Amino acid sequence: METLNVIIADDHPIVLFGLRELIKGDARFRVIGEAMSSSALVKLLQEQPVHVVITDYNMPDDSSYGDGLKLIDYLIRNFPQIQVLVLTMISTPTVHARLLDMGVVGVIQKRHMHTEIERALGAIFLRRQYRGSQWDAQSGGESALDEDHRFASLSFKEREILRLFVTGKTVGEIARSLNRSPKTISTQKMSAMRKLELNSDQELMTYCMANRYFS
């Protein structure tokens, strides 16, 4: 039986340990390397034949490879023969759909890793795209139109703040650009995140990039 070489990547040792133990029980796969940054991951891929990469979405950005969508896009374009399975804490359905459209073999929420990884490995071995049951339940039929409606509910000032936020500006820098107080900017940014049902700056950045808002 064919054995597929796997590289696992995450900046948390406990996640790497968990992945290694889960994969060890499947004779079809062999973990041949581990990485804790995007540059370490790419270096491993350049050094040896690899069939599968299981990587965290938010890897430390220590190089030109970046993290998030930038890293995944780099992997898909430069290593098209490798199947990429993405682990993430982000729960936005649009991000999941964007990753699948980019060509990843599947997306798993980290909190469901232990229950989903076995089924994902089965799909990977058959070279099929894996759509996790947790994503189906979570999206609940949510459409792009639903998300467009949420974005449309933002005020002009909230959109103005998000437009500057996705360029990498801090709250303080946005406040100076718009001649408002940092407290006001922070309050309006949090209001926008509530309307969009997002819980962190990373989710906000990914949401805007995945939907190509402001680009």
Reported as a single tens digit per residue, the pLDDT across 36-80 is 999 999 999 999 999 999 999 888 766 778 778 889 999 999 999
Domains of the chain, residue spans: 4-138, 144-211
Dihedral class, residue 168 (left if φ above 0, else alpha if ψ from -120 to 50, else beta): left
pLDDT value of residue 93? 75
- SS3 sequence of 71-135: HHHHHHHHCCCCEEEEEECCCCHHHHHHHHHHCCCEEEEHHHHHHHHHHHHHHHHCCCCEECHHH
CA 177 to chain centre: 30
CATH code for the part of the protein at 4-138: 3.40.50.2300
Is the pLDDT at 134 greater than 70? The verdict is no
Token look-up 């649009």 returns 94
Q: Interior CA angle at 171 toward 168 and 174, to 5°? A: 75
Could you give the C-alpha distances from 6 to 24, 49, 142, in angstroms and in order? 11, 9, 33
CATH topology for 144-211? Answer: Arc Repressor Mutant, subunit A (1.10.10)
How confident is the model at residue 178, as a pLDDT? Answer: 93
C-alpha span between 212 and 206 (Å, rounded): 10
Q: Tell me: the pLDDT tens digits for 157-199?
A: 999 999 899 888 999 999 999 999 999 999 999 999 998 888 8
CA-wise closest residue to 204 among 158, 173, 172: 158
pTM: 0.70
pLDDT tens column, 80-124: 999 999 998 877 777 788 888 899 999 998 888 888 899 999 999
Mean pLDDT score of the chain: 86
